[in-house]
Structure 1
Amino acid sequence: MHASKERTSSLWPSVISYAKSCVQTVLREGIRRGQLVIDDCDGTHTYGEYDSSDKKARIVSIRVVNEDFYARVYLRHDLGFSEAYMYGDFETSDLKSILDLWLDNRDHLAGLQSYFARVMTTMSGLALRLFGQTLSNAKLNAIAGYDCCNELFEAFLGESMMYSSALWPDSTGGVRGDLEIDGPAEADLDTAQINKLHYLLRKARVRPGDRVLEFGTGWGSLAIEAAKMGCVVDTFTLSIEQKHFAEAKIARLGLSERIRIHLCDYRNLPADFEKAFDAFVSIEMVEHVGYRFLPQYFKIIDWALKSDRAAAVVTATTQPDSRFDTLQASDFAREYIWPNAFCPSPISLVGIAKDATKGHFNLDSVEDQAHHYPRTLREWGYRFQRNWNEDLIKHIVKAQPQLASPEDLAIYKRRWEYMFVYAEVGFARAYTSMTYWTFVRPENVVERCD
């Protein structure tokens, strides 16, 4: 919600006043665990009572800089709160604790969602369900999510250039290694990301000489590791910037003869790909398929993989089955980071795969690796802050001229800061999950055992 027209309206002060009253009423009744302190133009307001015997209870503070904060929250609920942070309507020294406090009390804060917000939630969910990942929209979503600036992603992803959760081995201190006294080592993130790639290739039962199919190239990391093993890889992306970056890196490594990057939607595979591949891997791409197209996605995998010993590994951010809904409304992540993403649940995806492939695959394993994501996000946040400098800003503004003004650039920076913390809290609290599925052809044993 932009403030230009609303602020010029004589009705806007009344909207703010009404929204503020509604928000304060809900907070008074809804904060039952921990305490929220809000400072605004009317003074200090305290909601909830701090219980020192509750080790997980917390006291968090917000300073409201612009009263639009209340209208954003009332009219757009959690999305409005994220926008209020982005636009600088409030300040806090501990965004993570605020989001934790919301999760602690969310069952009693439903009143923060106005009738208008509920209507918009339903409409956005329907729009995503029907139109979110059509062929034309999928390309636009990829451009919006990944073609913003390669240098930006380099600033926080590290050498491995993996925009997905790492798997933290003991050698890096594990999932809390960055929180220990000595802190993280610089190479830890890359070590953990390569560990993840090797783990997934093992799950896919990839052997030297295999032909591997990948949906979602990213910046080429999985394809490169498979090629180093002696595989031939065909990988698909809709991002021009990612394709250029990956091809340059692959050429520097002398792997161009083993890897082909296709700027093409996965729904438009060449006819000669039928039953041509030994393994399939897709890392955190299935969220961009959309509920409507998931059966087609698995039918294509079935069509492309060999009929005997092939395996398919899919990883994705998921909604826990306990709160899964096929109607998923726009939220901060879908609005600003991963446009129109749809998160399946662990069980729902298995059912869709089974129905779509008609018994041509067995489910080998389902794993929840969500506990590895919070450290990944913290590591990205550390690097983002450390590498935010004039040189990076020049690259960002060159790629996105609309960010030339200091105000717009500051909003953009806070958007990323919010994402790192918002996602960290969701995974750390198991509000969101990270699932690995492995599907194999029937009677395909892991290794010969007789």
Structure 2
Amino acid sequence: MSGDARARVAVDAERWPDVVAVPRCSAARQALARTVVRRALNGLPLQVAMGGAELLGRGGPLLEVRDPDSFLRRVATHGLVGFGESYMAHEWDARELVAVLTVLAEHTATLVPPSLQRLRTLWAPRQPAEQRNTPSGAQANIRHHYDLSNDLFALFLDDSLSYSSALFDGLPAAWSDLETGQHRKIDRMLDLCGAGPGTRLLEIGTGWGALAIRAAARGASVHSVTLSAQQRDLARERVRAAGHEDRVRIELCDYRQVRGRYDAIASVEMIEAVGAEYWPTFFRTLDSLLAPGGSVALQAITMPHDRMLASRSTYTWVQKYIFPGGQLPSVRAVEETARAHTGLRVTACDGFGAHYAQTLALWRERFAQQDDAVGDLGFDATFRRMWDFYLAYSEAGFRSGYLDVHQIQLTGQGAGQ
């Protein structure tokens, strides 16, 4: 690590040990990484400045590698986890961060040579066992992210406190369109599962209560479950303030512990926290809780099926720092898991990934504007740089088409109903 980079992160050494400590790496492994990285970057529509001594790429947004030695050691040792940690350590930067990450996301499948892709299980970091989504593990994983601070999320979310993709009337959209776009998304979810007057609705993943409040306003009776104590507490306050306390019950409860029968089930961007190992359990649970004639509405961040299969066992930067235990499904995985383990079938599926890219751009802009306020909440400079990278990384995934978001309707076909 260069002297400048070390000075920037030294204060964070105790909290961020893997950012401050550049991993040891054999000369042979580092040489291989240098060859692979140079070959990959030379073929991309980027400008890559390697410490001012070398310019790679075919032209495009600038990726400036300030400390090539540390950058290569991290990538050689920890792959994409190291790539993200190198950014957190200020070893590389980009004025147009989303543009750079979008180029990389567009070429994810070809960045690593086929010969090394086939050996992925030997060099790619593996997901740690402690992040498995057992009942206790899932609770710890959820609290790692969602119990950071309600005040933190309020700084960059709109007044609905919706932390999922909005559905805009048109693109591009402005901050003034965001809350309306969130309401439009929620209304479509409630339409998909048939929530209305007298409906017994189960919501898996409460968030901060936006869907529960809107469903109650339609006349539904809502049972909402979450694993985040901070979300539960604020969601209850918001429900009370909206005057729907008689229609909404919010519990700290794992989805596997829910009992009863419901006319409709809604879950917004919660399946990503289930983990592939537990997808069959998740869908069997939905099937057992859904009353005859009912429908399930899921909003899910998805990825292409082949990339999901290639990466499902790999430990990623997002899993290490943002969403431990997370795993994005493909639409095909949803369809196949439901068909193999339940009587549920996908009866509608609509993607709107460009709307998520716009949502993330608005969140990231707002987060940057609130930098001092985030610091005042006790979140240090490394956290703020990490969070900016997370939002940019996610936006790039949707802009490149590597990620998508779908609203999926499932209905029963007899079995389990």
For this structure pair, what is the TM-score category when the shorter chain's length is used for normalisation? 0.7 to 0.9
2:356 aligns with 373
Output the CA distance in 2 between the equivalents of 1:290 and 1:114.
23
1:16–1:367 CA distance, 2 compared to 1 (3 A): same
2:340 aligns with 355
Q: How large is the RMSD of aligned CA atoms in angstroms?
A: 2.6
Match of 1:279 among 264, 274, 277: 264
1:33 aligns with 44
- How far has the Cα of 1:122 moved from its partner? 5.6
- How far has the Cα of 1:425 moved from its partner? 1.0
Match of 2:224 among 235, 239, 245: 235
1:93 aligns with 95
Q: Deviations over 1:165-222 (max 9, x none)?
A: 11111xxxx2323xxxxxx2x4211110011001111111122111100100010110
- How far has the Cα of 1:287 moved from its partner? 1.2
Normalising by structure 2, we get a TM-score of: 0.87
> 1:123 aligns to what SS in structure 2?
coil
- How far has the Cα of 1:3 moved from its partner? 6.0
- How far has the Cα of 1:164 moved from its partner? 0.7
Output the CA distance in 1 between the equivalents of 2:53 and 2:125.
35
- How far has the Cα of 1:48 moved from its partner? 3.1
2:5 aligns with none
Normalising by structure 1, we get a TM-score of: 0.81
2:308 aligns with 324
Output the CA distance in 2 between the equivalents of 1:5 and 1:302.
48
- 8 Å contact kept, 1:212–1:278: yes
1:336 aligns with 321
1:300–1:168 CA distance, 2 compared to 1 (3 A): same
Please tell me whether residue 414 in structure 1 is matched to residue 364 in structure 2.
no
For 2:126, give the aligned amino acid. Answer: M
1:5–1:438 CA distance, 2 compared to 1 (3 A): closer
- How far has the Cα of 1:24 moved from its partner? 3.6
Q: Deviations over 1:385-423 (max 9, x none)?
A: 112224x4333x2xxxxx5xxxxx111001111111111
For 1:100, give the aligned amino acid. Answer: T
- 8 Å contact kept, 1:88–1:411: no
Output the CA distance in 1 between the equivalents of 2:258 and 2:229.
18
- How far has the Cα of 1:61 moved from its partner? 3.3
- 8 Å contact kept, 2:22–2:70: no
Please tell me whether residue 191 in structure 1 is matched to residue 167 in structure 2.
no
For 1:191, give the aligned amino acid. Answer: T
- How far has the Cα of 1:342 moved from its partner? 1.5
> 2:18 aligns to what SS in structure 1?
coil
For 2:305, give the aligned amino acid. Answer: D
1:150 aligns with 150
Please tell me whether residue 2 in structure 1 is matched to residue 18 in structure 2.
yes
Output the CA distance in 1 between the equivalents of 2:192 and 2:90.
45
- 8 Å contact kept, 2:226–2:252: yes
Q: Report how many aligned residue pairs link the two structures.
A: 395
1:447 aligns with none
1:383–1:4 CA distance, 2 compared to 1 (3 A): closer
2:208 aligns with 219
Structure 2: runs of 5+ lacking an equivalent: 1-16
Q: Deviations over 1:235-284 (max 9, x none)?
A: 000100001110111111111111000101111124xx1x3x11100000
- How far has the Cα of 1:299 moved from its partner? 1.8
- 8 Å contact kept, 1:77–1:117: no
Find the structure with the greater CA-based Rg.
1
Please tell me whether residue 124 in structure 1 is matched to residue 127 in structure 2.
yes
Output the CA distance in 2 between the equivalents of 1:37 and 1:111.
19
Which range moves more in the overlay, 221-230 or 86-95?
Answer: 86-95
Match of 2:367 among 371, 381, 384: 384
Please tell me whether residue 427 in structure 1 is matched to residue 398 in structure 2.
yes
Please tell me whether residue 314 in structure 1 is matched to residue 298 in structure 2.
yes
Output the CA distance in 2 between the equivalents of 1:336 and 1:353.
30
Match of 1:438 among 399, 409, 412: 409
Q: Deviations over 1:66-114 (max 9, x none)?
A: 7422211221122211111112122321212322332354455316979
1:260 aligns with 249
Percent of aligned pairs with the same residue?
A: 28
Q: Deviations over 1:344-374 (max 9, x none)?
A: 11012112112222x3x34311222212110
Output the CA distance in 1 between the equivalents of 2:270 and 2:20.
36
> 1:2 aligns to what SS in structure 2?
helix
1:77 aligns with 79
Which range moves more in the overlay, 100-109 or 88-97?
Answer: 100-109
